[in-house]
With several copies, the nearest count.
Chain A
Amino acid sequence: MKLAVQLYARARDLAGLDQVELELNEPASVGDVRTALADCVPELAPLTRGLLIAVGTDYADDSLTVAAGDTVVCFPPVSGG
């Protein structure tokens, strides 16, 4: 399946892209997204351990299953306030 992953902050700047299209085998987990991201965008590889992934508006851990059409978002640790 195809899955679009939105990038924010330093992840977006390193990738040079707002969004990355991944090709994943089903069923796919958030952990698979993490691995595919690092393969597809080598610039993100040094960050991947520290990147956070959200599905919809919730943090997701690597075991969560993602489906085509999910809003998947990837970003480094937050620093608002």
Chain B
Amino acid sequence: MIRLTHDPIDTHQLTESVRDHAAGAVVLFLGTVRELTEGKRTLALDYEAYPEMATAKLKEIAETASTKWPITAYGIIHRLGHLDLGDVSVAVAVSCPHRVEAFEAGRFLIDTLKEIVPIWKKENFDDGTTEWVHPGLDAATDTPVSN
């Protein structure tokens, strides 16, 4: 199951959805909005996606993972829009017969998501500035919100 949503992610429902009698291991990963990044204080994040491609790439990643590990079930939900401190931005759940596979598959799913899925976040810092996060491009702080 793959989903982009503007609503809070029901992480419990996602976890339950991958439980299965064939699986002995479930791994759930949650990305949450962290307050401090390299000494700067974040108040909120805005997430944006190119949704058609994001969904297609998430399916592709899940299919690749299924060729590498014996995945019993999986679910990936990414939230979009304005997120406050502590909110869950992404949830990846995977079940496998054994734990090593479940950890490796979970790790692959979130690592690859962060590499190739067209979703972007904009930091809202406590000094009133905002900044799109684009790894490899120079950081460029945009106009203070108060202007």
Contacts and interface: CB of A to CB of B under 8 A. Distances in A.
Interface of A: 6, 8-10, 13, 47, 50, 52, 54, 56-59, 73, 75-81
A8 B51 CA distance: 11
A44 B132 CA distance: 15
15 contacts: A8-B50, A10-B132, A10-B142, A47-B137, A50-B134, A73-B118, A75-B118, A75-B120, A77-B134, A78-B115, A79-B114, A80-B49, A80-B113, A81-B31, A81-B90
Interface in B17-58: 31, 47-50, 52-54, 56-57
B100 interface: no
A75 B142 CA distance: 17
Contacts of B113: 80-81
Nearest to A75: B118
Given A78-B117, A79-B135, A80-B117, A10 B140 contact: yes
Contacts of A79: 114, 119-121, 132-135
B15 interface: no
B116 interface: yes
Contacts of B107: none
Contacts of A58: 53, 56
A9 B137 contact: no
Interface string B115-146: 11111111000000000111111001010000
B122 A9 contact: yes
Nearest to B52: A57
Nearest to B113: A81
A3 to B, nearest CB: 17
Given A50-B134, A81-B31, A75 B121 contact: no
A57 B54 CA distance: 8
A73 B50 contact: yes
A6 B135 contact: no
Contact of A80 (B56, B90, B136): B90
Contacts of B135: 77, 79
Contacts of B54: 80
Contacts of B52: 57
